[in-house]
A and B are shown apart, each in its own frame.
Chain A
Amino acid sequence: MTIENYFILSAILFCIGMAVVITRKNAIVVLMGVELILNAANVNFVAISRLDNVQIEGQFFSLFVIVVAAAEAAVALAIILKVYKYYNTTNLNEINQLKG
């Protein structure tokens, strides 16, 4: 498998993630889209890191991304839970008390 395949995979993942973030109305699904974007970056980092056997910086970067994504998801779910308590929905179109 050449490295180009990984790049194509990561580009596809990024596009799907971006599409989900932009089009979906459910807060949790949007979060899943963000997760896809982060993993697109991870695929890139790990793939490139293969060319560089000494430093493997890319692999470390993706490890950190995974950790940070977990932290972000924890905070996000806590906030979504709170929002659900007030609004009884996670639909972003209906959560619109504040006007810009």
Chain B
Amino acid sequence: MEEGLHHKLTGINSSLPYFLPEVILVGGIILIVFVGLFNIGKKELLMRVLAAVMLALVLYFDIRQWLHEDNVRQLFLDMVTLDRAAILWKILFGTGGLFTVLMGFKYRGWYDKSGEYYALMLSVVFGAHLVAMASNLLMIFIGIEVISISSYILTTFSFNKNSTEAGLKYLLFGAAASGVMIFGMSWLYAFTGSLAFTEQSFLEMLMKADALPLIIASLFVTAGLLFKISAAPMHIWAPDVYTSAPTPVVAFFSIVPKLAGFAILVRWMLVIKLFGFSPVDWAAVLAVVAMLTIAIGNFSALWQNNAKRMLAYSSIAHSGFLLIGLVAFSELAIQSLLFYAAIYILMNVAAFIYVSYLEREYNIINIKDYKGFVRTSPLIATVLVVIMISLTGLPPTAGFTAKLLIFSALWDGYAATDHTMMLYLLIFGLLNAVVSLFYYLKIPYFMIFKEGAHEGKAKKLYTIENFLGFFMVLALLILFFKPDGLMRMINSVSFAF
């Protein structure tokens, strides 16, 4: 007994050094909540700097892990697995979090709430870190719940009627989805007698399980995970939340929680496919989900007048495109998914930065307000055009490279397995890329070809937001011409196929 306890305690102790980014995140959350208790002048700025420093530290230690960890490590008595893929996801979450924190919290009347705001942001990033490394069903559950509960509160941070309504809807849907998910997990536990889902014995027991209960249980768990990435039948919360939450929060939601969902889905699919012996044809299921997601996202975005709403629907469509990587599901496909995810962070954050910047400085909210903007500020207009081209997936931007990679991975998957659903998905996805052209290019069209009332009152350009945005656009262009750096990084990640 004592021997076992000693063994466990040393196991926990020796795992801590590899858990540094997460420890810093928790410390940061506590620090920010504590400092937030005091009534200081310039509170929002102080909080923002604190949160940014914390996230920069997290990012630094994530990158250090990337440089120094070459082998897979089981930490905390096999609760979490630290491998290259997890570290890469963690770097992405850290970057996404840092970008959104730098966007700030611009609700002047609510500056005294900024402490909670940044603390909740950090806790979402923390949850995402846990989810990326999870190798135990309990860890998935805790990670997902840390993300969800913080997101429910963040949704209501506009402090108005609409945002509380969106928060309530999100919460009820989310709670029901996670309830269904853990009910499915309890069945999987019944089949296998173990929660460590990456272990060999878990897979072997699952293969022995009866087909029907296994199908139900695995669909339940997968549905709970698909909810997080706002995939089609489970996407109903997304438009409401995306329209009424504060803009930085929306940018954040479309990146960190969503990509956390993808991080765990990749790991989860490896297990639940049972090396192709699964009674469910996952490629077909996910292909249908992906098609629905892309179609709903795109066709709803077509009818939107509000720029933020349009971006919200477009981010649903992008989850559909990311799902393509899971449908093809080969080493190449997952690598393209990671590449797409990295590019998606850059272009989505950049788009949200400029939409919120224009909303605040020029009071441009609807798409038709963009009329003639190119004459007011040619520089910002150009940058916006590049972002929109990248979101559509046209050269010369990295958005094109990402779409090309993911579609060619799908084609390879089709060639290898001869699965007709993949072919349908490929055709459907390509057609939808054309549809998305119409709404993305509406903004450049209005800016350049329409006369408008925005003549000559350019506001100051030198803000943190603008620097961040320019940097991202530059990155988008550079990654089109020289994607090999990022590609090499992603290629060094190996998945257990």
A80–B22 Cα gap in the complex (Å)? 32
A7–B190 Cα gap in the complex (Å)? 10
Pick from B138, B152, B244: contact of A98, CB under 8 Å: B244
A79 to chain B, nearest CB (A): 5
Pick from B137, B145, B183, B189: contact of A14, CB under 8 Å: B183
A45–B149 Cα gap in the complex (Å)? 23
Say whether B161 contacts A30, CB under 8 Å: no
A-B contact count (CB 8 A): 120
Q: Which residues of B contact A33 (CB under 8 A)?
A: 176
Question: Considering only CB atoms, which chain B residue lies closest to A62 in the complex?
Answer: B186
Given A41-B185, A57-B194, A83-B165: A31 in contact with B172 (beta carbons within 8 A): yes
Question: Contact flags (1/0) for B139-168 with A, using CB distance below 8 Å?
Answer: 001100100010011001000011011111
A13 to chain B, nearest CB (A): 9
Pick from A18, A31, A48, A65: contact of B189, CB under 8 Å: A48
Say whether B175 contacts A58, CB under 8 Å: no
Say whether B162 contacts A98, CB under 8 Å: yes
Say whether A57 contacts B172, CB under 8 Å: no
Q: Does B243 contact A (CB under 8 A)?
A: yes
Q: Which residues of B contact A65 (CB under 8 A)?
A: 141, 182
Say whether A82 contacts B175, CB under 8 Å: no
How many interface residues does chain A have, given as a range?
Answer: 35 or more
Say whether A75 contacts B149, CB under 8 Å: yes
Q: Does B203 contact A (CB under 8 A)?
A: no
Say whether A60 contacts B183, CB under 8 Å: no
Question: Considering only CB atoms, which chain A residue lies closest to B192 in the complex?
Answer: A48
Q: Which residues of B contact A14 (CB under 8 A)?
A: 183
Q: Does B452 contact A (CB under 8 A)?
A: no
Name 14 A/B residue pairs within 8 A (Cβ), A-sorted: A17-B179, A37-B179, A40-B186, A41-B185, A44-B187, A45-B186, A57-B194, A57-B195, A58-B186, A68-B142, A72-B149, A83-B168, A92-B172, A100-B236
Given A34-B176, A41-B185, A75-B171, 11 additional A-B pairs, CB 8 A: A30-B176, A38-B179, A61-B185, A61-B186, A64-B138, A64-B142, A72-B171, A79-B171, A86-B164, A87-B161, A98-B162
